[in-house]
Chain A
């Protein structure tokens, strides 16, 4: 792609440009070579990415048919049909790349049949995609095969034990700058596990919540009283559970791991009583008590293909249901979906691991989940749970330019990711990697099947603005 097919693509962008977008007015214009050289030493050049030639699914419900997206330094700065202005780009002459005061890459996806642009997917959790452990700024393996396969699957962000990280791959030649270690981790711990397995743990959680709630009441009263009496001491936090305090203050999510309906009902009750939104992983029998969970504002992380028979000793409904995600969603529970296997499984049985996340969503759709909720379950909802919803999960101006270009509906079982972009850098191109290049190769690929040459069927070429060698031959237009 990017590979900047200089003339053609530049001409195309140039045509699209108009001097109307004020946002770029402030960007530095570099006039002469000396200044450019100086500028280079001081700070890296601005980096632009234009994505065009495909339908843009923003993840908010909007679809821009054959829309365009512009990113600057890894952030989305414009989406739409408007012409984009890239400052400093001289439309009247072809400026060689090394003379430009900025980097420009153009991802022209018109070579992808049924091309669609989606936000990069967010895996609520995964294992082994980043290669390292602990602090990924120090330990990320940017050459990791599983990271490549994760990007090939369309995942650009993943939750880890206590942080949220990006699949930032190192692609030699693409970068004229250092690898951005600091950009790897984009979020800290947002979920705190509350034990809810036994009667004792439930009682303990409730007591801690009650203690925290009582403290907050005292604290709020103190906030009022201290205005009259400046000497009044802040109430002591001694004995107050700091995690539950953070939960009630909305600073962190309380995460419960629960599957049975009585456990789930209990979580809903305690959440409503103390006023917080619980995050429930598992949630197998959520469909039985979906109305309670919906009222409590619960959010669920589930695997649609979970299987468990109903407990025959119980009269009440129970067990797993393929309709779980759909029923929870219809009751207002936000649903994030993860597959049964969180890693990349190369054992030969495909369709059940993180590499097949959209197929897992497909099973929720089988159970009745609407398509848009299916997309949200692997983009906006996990992003929200991981506390990075302001940066990733949708394609919006101001957010990170993490996107994928697919060859069809993301949730269709045959769809492949053709390109993956993280922070405005193309980090995966299906035709450039070994793994999937041979499957339905793109026409622009060396692997594409040869079309037998039939002189009678050669179309008469219509030349564009760029001068081609045979431009005189294509002149059958009326004048």
Chain B
């Protein structure tokens, strides 16, 4: 209840600022006695990379107002009054941007989440393996990663449910953004090792079988909730499909190579009608970029970031005999506009998410409209359906904010301070620098 009140309170503030041109006297004061009533935080910066899904992406000479763990307002200094009682943090020449979001993380806890019970295990939950303040994740925080999708491995076709968590809060309950946060599907290139070995035809048969039953299960519940039919029996194997069919979460798909990416789009998105995104999408998967975008299948790319000449490496993708093709650039050139980056941490260490965007740009990904910054923030947030809480600097969203010395795709740009929900969780000025 109090949370709701707070939310309404900050929304009111945001609205007040937006509608009145924000002079100090018009800002709704905090109710005395509430946490944070003494005021919020105002961050001054040369450049705020706000990166909302739509609209202007950058505010120069900006003020970011934070209160009660939420972003209250973002605007140019000249037009944004800092309410009385707010602490002021001047970021100087540094930039401010939303915390980064990685949708392929295996380091939010121990790696005991790749149980290969059946060939499809939609009931297994990664949330049970989360370890707050896990070492590898702490370094990730220092690399600016504030939200992750912690997912099972790709040892089976459906490894289980991912969980969306904040990276630097002390308990699981505080970390959790959404559970289940996704369902992990692996279509090829790992599940083959299940039991005595399975091939693509059986894997696709079995995946279809699981998805058909899951979708049917979700539809029975939908019908029941509309008041049609009897209450179905609860089946923990298929509960996750109810969240999927409501597009509250999506299928994250270990898919790569043109043929398999096509299979993801055709089988999961088109045939089953289940919301899905490409996770990996590498080798020559980029060749399917146009049909993926057309089908509303976002592309979250990594940890491989280039498609290399195959002649002397592995010939199974069969494309690209001679050039070194940037994976992200490939999707972009095919017209895809919802491209994000992942690390598959620890394959790429969690703290190097920003380099994934940098390598993308090096190999031809166009960042003219901050596509690379968006690919680290709002695109993955939208893809995982947590864009109402994280992924951009917009009033009402969680105050997951980074102070960074320059463009986040540049490995030389150092993350100087990290806020998660308004709390300063990393500050190398007062604690040992981690990255």
CB within 8 Å of B: which residues of A? Answer: 145, 305, 307, 309, 317, 321-323, 346-351, 359, 362-363, 365-367, 411-414, 434-440
- The SS class assigned to the A binding surface is loop
Q: Point out the residues of chain A lying under 8 angstroms from B305, CB to CB.
A: 348-351
Name A412's closest neighbour in chain B (CB-CB). B410
Known A-B contacts A348-B283, A351-B355, A434-B322; the reply to A413 vs B361 at CB < 8 A is yes
Range of interface residues on B (Cβ < 8 Å): 35 or more
Q: How far is the CA of A348 from the CA of B349 in the complex (A)?
A: 16
Q: Point out the residues of chain A lying under 8 angstroms from B348, CB to CB.
A: 349
User: Which listed residue (B303, B355, B414) contacts A359, Cβ 8 A?
Assistant: B355
Q: Is residue B168 contacting chain A, with contact meaning CB distance below 8 A?
A: no
- Stretch from B59-67, B306-314, B386-394 that touches the partner: B306-314
Known A-B contacts A434-B322, A439-B326; the reply to A348 vs B411 at CB < 8 A is no
Q: How far is the CA of A367 from the CA of B433 in the complex (A)?
A: 9
A434 and B410 within 8 A (CB) = no
Q: Could you say which of A317, A412, A413, A436 has the most chain B C-beta atoms within 10 Å of its C-beta?
A: A413
Q: Point out the residues of chain A lying under 8 angstroms from B313, CB to CB.
A: 346-347
Name A440's closest neighbour in chain B (CB-CB). B364
Q: Point out the residues of chain A lying under 8 angstroms from B323, CB to CB.
A: 434-438
B359 and A346 within 8 A (CB) = no
Q: Could you say which of A307, A349, A362 has the most chain B C-beta atoms within 10 Å of its C-beta?
A: A349
Q: Point out the residues of chain A lying under 8 angstroms from B283, CB to CB.
A: 348
Q: Is residue B199 contacting chain A, with contact meaning CB distance below 8 A?
A: no
A362 and B411 within 8 A (CB) = yes
Name A360's closest neighbour in chain B (CB-CB). B411
Q: How far is the CA of A349 from the CA of B302 in the complex (A)?
A: 8
Q: Point out the residues of chain B lying under 8 angstroms from A413, CB to CB.
A: 355, 358-359, 361-362, 409-412
28 pairs of residues in contact across A and B, judged by CB atoms under 8 Å: A307-B139, A321-B433, A322-B433, A346-B308, A347-B304, A347-B308, A349-B303, A349-B306, A349-B347, A350-B306, A350-B359, A351-B359, A359-B355, A359-B358, A362-B410, A362-B411, A362-B412, A363-B411, A366-B411, A367-B414, A413-B359, A413-B361, A413-B411, A414-B358, A434-B309, A436-B323, A437-B323, A438-B323
Q: How far is the CA of A305 from the CA of B139 in the complex (A)?
A: 12
Q: Is residue B324 contacting chain A, with contact meaning CB distance below 8 A?
A: yes
Q: Is residue B264 contacting chain A, with contact meaning CB distance below 8 A?
A: no
Q: Could you say which of A145, A351, A365, A437 has the most chain B C-beta atoms within 10 Å of its C-beta?
A: A351
Beyond the given pairs A366-B411, A440-B364, 8 more chain A to chain B contacts, judged by CB atoms under 8 angstroms and listed by A's residue number, are: A305-B352, A348-B283, A348-B308, A351-B359, A367-B414, A413-B361, A414-B361, A438-B364
Q: How far is the CA of A438 from the CA of B333 in the complex (A)?
A: 12
Q: Is residue B282 contacting chain A, with contact meaning CB distance below 8 A?
A: yes
B412 and A348 within 8 A (CB) = no
Name A439's closest neighbour in chain B (CB-CB). B364
- Near A by CB (< 8 A), chain B positions 322-336 give 322-326, 329
Q: How far is the CA of A314 from the CA of B322 in the complex (A)?
A: 52
Name A309's closest neighbour in chain B (CB-CB). B135
CB within 8 Å of A: which residues of B? Answer: 135, 139, 282-283, 303-309, 312-313, 322-326, 329, 347-349, 352, 355, 358-359, 361-364, 409-414, 432-433, 435
Name A362's closest neighbour in chain B (CB-CB). B411
Nearest CB of chain A from residue B351's CB, rounded to whole Å: 9
- The SS class assigned to the B binding surface is loop
B309 and A346 within 8 A (CB) = yes
Q: Could you say which of A366, A367, A411 has the most chain B C-beta atoms within 10 Å of its C-beta?
A: A366
Q: Point out the residues of chain B lying under 8 angstroms from A438, CB to CB.
A: 323, 325, 364
Q: How far is the CA of A349 from the CA of B352 in the complex (A)?
A: 12
Q: Point out the residues of chain B lying under 8 angstroms from A323, CB to CB.
A: 433
Q: Point out the residues of chain A lying under 8 angstroms from B349, CB to CB.
A: 305, 307
Q: How far is the CA of A351 from the CA of B410 in the complex (A)?
A: 12
Nearest CB of chain A from residue B140's CB, rounded to whole Å: 12
Q: Point out the residues of chain B lying under 8 angstroms from A347, CB to CB.
A: 304, 308, 313
B358 and A351 within 8 A (CB) = yes
Q: Could you say which of A145, A322, A363, A435 has the most chain B C-beta atoms within 10 Å of its C-beta?
A: A322
Name A359's closest neighbour in chain B (CB-CB). B411
Q: How far is the CA of A366 from the CA of B308 in the complex (A)?
A: 28
Known A-B contacts A145-B312, A347-B313, A434-B322; the reply to A366 vs B413 at CB < 8 A is yes
Nearest CB of chain B from residue A329's CB, rounded to whole Å: 15
Q: Could you say which of A323, A365, A438 has the most chain B C-beta atoms within 10 Å of its C-beta?
A: A438
Q: Point out the residues of chain B lying under 8 angstroms from A435, CB to CB.
A: 309, 322-324
Name B142's closest neighbour in chain A (CB-CB). A322
Known A-B contacts A413-B358, A434-B323, A439-B326; the reply to A346 vs B312 at CB < 8 A is yes
Q: Could you say which of B282, B358, B364, B412 has the most chain A C-beta atoms within 10 Å of its C-beta?
A: B412
Nearest CB of chain A from residue B323's CB, rounded to whole Å: 5
Q: How far is the CA of A470 from the CA of B303 in the complex (A)?
A: 54
Q: Point out the residues of chain A lying under 8 angstroms from B324, CB to CB.
A: 435-436
Q: Point out the residues of chain A lying under 8 angstroms from B364, CB to CB.
A: 438-440
Name B355's closest neighbour in chain A (CB-CB). A351
Q: Could you say which of A309, A412, A439 has the most chain B C-beta atoms within 10 Å of its C-beta?
A: A439
Nearest CB of chain B from residue A92's CB, rounded to whole Å: 46
Q: Could you say which of A359, A363, A414, A435 has the most chain B C-beta atoms within 10 Å of its C-beta?
A: A414
B410 and A348 within 8 A (CB) = no
Name B356's closest neighbour in chain A (CB-CB). A351
Nearest CB of chain B from residue A285's CB, rounded to whole Å: 13
Q: How far is the CA of A439 from the CA of B282 in the complex (A)?
A: 18
B412 and A411 within 8 A (CB) = yes
Q: How far is the CA of A350 from the CA of B329 in the complex (A)?
A: 14
Q: How far is the CA of A309 from the CA of B349 in the complex (A)?
A: 14
Q: How far is the CA of A428 from the CA of B139 in the complex (A)?
A: 39
Nearest CB of chain A from residue B70's CB, rounded to whole Å: 30
Nearest CB of chain A from residue B188's CB, rounded to whole Å: 16
Nearest first, the 8 A-B pairs at minimum CB distance are: A348-B304, A362-B411, A434-B322, A346-B308, A365-B412, A413-B358, A350-B306, A439-B364
Q: Point out the residues of chain B lying under 8 angstroms from A322, CB to CB.
A: 433, 435
Name B306's closest neighbour in chain A (CB-CB). A350
Q: How far is the CA of A439 from the CA of B307 in the complex (A)?
A: 13
A366 and B412 within 8 A (CB) = yes
Q: How far is the CA of A366 from the CA of B349 in the complex (A)?
A: 16
Q: Point out the residues of chain A lying under 8 angstroms from B432, CB to CB.
A: 317
Nearest CB of chain B from residue A429's CB, rounded to whole Å: 15
Q: Point out the residues of chain B lying under 8 angstroms from A321, CB to CB.
A: 433
Q: How far is the CA of A472 from the CA of B409 in the complex (A)?
A: 50
Q: Point out the residues of chain A lying under 8 angstroms from B433, CB to CB.
A: 321-323
Nearest CB of chain A from residue B212's CB, rounded to whole Å: 34
Q: Point out the residues of chain B lying under 8 angstroms from A436, CB to CB.
A: 323-324
Q: How far is the CA of A374 from the CA of B362 in the complex (A)?
A: 19
Q: How far is the CA of A411 from the CA of B413 in the complex (A)?
A: 12
Q: Point out the residues of chain A lying under 8 angstroms from B307, CB to CB.
A: 348
Q: Point out the residues of chain A lying under 8 angstroms from B363, CB to CB.
A: 350, 439
